[in-house]
């Protein structure tokens, strides 16, 4: 049984120990509208190449787990309607039944691990939703970070989540949450969350070193690097707070639950900010891709742990 199919570029990079950066595909199918999603997916891949690494966008297409997509596959996914959103729970079922699905952070980490990829760039991770004490809505991304050894570069947790509870779960799971270049935890569209980050690191070489050190210590999980959005692209916290509150009220009024919550809120915030949230989202994903390429490059220099 072939577990996954690497693109030619990814197969070559892995065989010759070149730096590779994993990318998720739920951000393409559920996180942004067409055609911006396709444009961003291509740009982010190019940002990683410009940073000296090889991009590996993950997706399950007709039952095959692809590690690195062709231009046609990327385009097909960006335009497809009704693509499944795959997390740890649904990935194997989708593959076994010949389905097509986009990978979340959790599923992308699983794919990266089996392919031998150590660094992954995304926009935001899933987390503990507000009201989780009633809904129990806690993303599988957090538990994946606790058990799968991949360094994930994200722009912090979105302010649609309960950030303090998200940090608590990550701590319980033994996940280092490392703010990059500042002491505060960033909040996706905003550089500031009002909360201190558990850890701070200021250079990619040290982050790579910490990744290798976890491996040497026999620690199974990953690292979360919280990279603040560039200042020129951020939407400040005060502007966003009432918009997020309204989007959440609307989600509740429409009875949106489970997997539908994050995509609904992202779409609603896009409408309420008249598209500004998308511009910020694009800027932060590209910023994360550049940092991830640097970390992957450092890791391949110091000898990637097996
Ligand atoms: N945050 C975004 N855009 C996204 C997601 C999160 O800004 O597209 C996606 C990611 O794929 C993440 C997933 O892994 O949502 C989390 O979903 P859930 O909360 O249902 O686990
Ligand atoms: Mn959820």
- Would you say residue 142 lies in a domain? yes
Q: Please check whether residues 178 and 96 belong to one and the same domain.
A: no
How much is the average pLDDT of 117-128? 96
Provide the mean pLDDT of the chain. Answer: 95
Assess whether 158 carries a catalytic annotation.
yes
25-49 b/e (C-beta count within 10 Å ≥ 16 → b): bbbbbbbbeeebbbebbbebbebbe
For residue 30, give its domain range: 1-117
pLDDT tops 80 at residue 1: no
Q: What is the spatial distance between Cα 170 and Cα 224, in angstroms, rounded to a whole number?
A: 9
Q: Which residues line ligand 1 (CB under 6 A)?
A: 24, 26-27, 30-31, 87, 104-105, 123-126, 139-141, 158, 259, 262, 266
Q: Please check whether residues 21 and 36 belong to one and the same domain.
A: yes
pLDDT tops 90 at residue 260: no
Q: Please check whether residues 84 and 185 belong to one and the same domain.
A: no
Instruction: Give the environment of ion ligand 2: residues with CB less than 5 A.
Output: 137
pLDDT at 72: 97
pLDDT tops 70 at residue 305: no
Q: Please check whether residues 51 and 79 belong to one and the same domain.
A: yes
Predicted structure pTM score: 0.96
**Nearest residue CA, atom 10 of ligand 1?**
104
Q: Please check whether residues 90 and 143 belong to one and the same domain.
A: no
**Rounded percentage of the chain residues whose pLDDT exceeds 90:** 91
Ligand 2 center from residue 59 Cα (angstroms): 19
pLDDT at 157: 84
How much is the average pLDDT of 172-183? 98
Assess whether 18 carries a catalytic annotation.
no
DSSP of 187-215: BTTBS--SSB-SEEE--HHHHHHHHHHHH
Of the pLDDT bands very low, low, confident and very high (cuts 50, 70, 90), residue 257 is confident
- Would you say residue 306 lies in a domain? no
Of the pLDDT bands very low, low, confident and very high (cuts 50, 70, 90), residue 228 is very high
pLDDT at 304: 52
The last residue of one of the domains, among 73, 94, 117, is 117
pLDDT tops 90 at residue 208: yes
């Amino acid at each position: 049984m072939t577990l996954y199919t690497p693109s030619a570029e990814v197969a070559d990079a892995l065989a010759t120990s070149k730096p590779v950066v994993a990318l998720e595909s739920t951000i393409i199918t559920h996180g942004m509208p067409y055609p911006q999603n396709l444009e961003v997916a291509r740009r982010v891949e190019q940002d990683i190449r410009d940073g000296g690494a090889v991009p590996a966008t993950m997706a399950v297409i007709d039952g095959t787990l692809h590690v690195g997509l062709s231009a046609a596959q990327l385009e097909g996914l960006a335009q497809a309607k009704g693509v499944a959103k795959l997390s740890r729970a649904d990935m194997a079922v989708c593959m076994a039944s010949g389905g097509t699905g986009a990978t979340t952070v959790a599923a992308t980490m699983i794919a990266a691990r089996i392919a031998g990829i150590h660094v992954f760039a995304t926009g935001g991770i899933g987390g503990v939703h507000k009201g989780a004490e009633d809904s129990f809505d806690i993303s599988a991304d957090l538990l994946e970070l606790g058990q799968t050894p991949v360094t994930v570069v994200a722009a912090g947790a979105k302010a649609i989540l309960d950030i303090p509870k998200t940090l608590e779960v990550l701590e319980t799971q033994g996940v280092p949450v490392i703010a990059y270049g500042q002491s505060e935890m960033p909040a996706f569209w905003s550089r500031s969350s009002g909360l201190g980050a558990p850890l701070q690191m200021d250079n990619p070489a040290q982050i790579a070193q910490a990744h290798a050190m976890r491996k040497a210590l026999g620690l199974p999980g990953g690292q979360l690097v919280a990279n603040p959005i560039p200042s020129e692209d951020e939407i400040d916290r005060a502007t966003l707070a009432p918009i997020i509150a309204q989007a959440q009220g609307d989600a509740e009024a429409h009875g949106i639950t489970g997997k539908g919550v994050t995509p609904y809120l992202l779409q609603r915030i896009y409408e309420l900010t008249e598209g500004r949230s998308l511009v910020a989202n694009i800027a932060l994903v590209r910023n994360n891709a550049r940092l991830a390429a640097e970390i992957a490059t450092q890791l391949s220099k110091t000898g990637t742990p097996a």
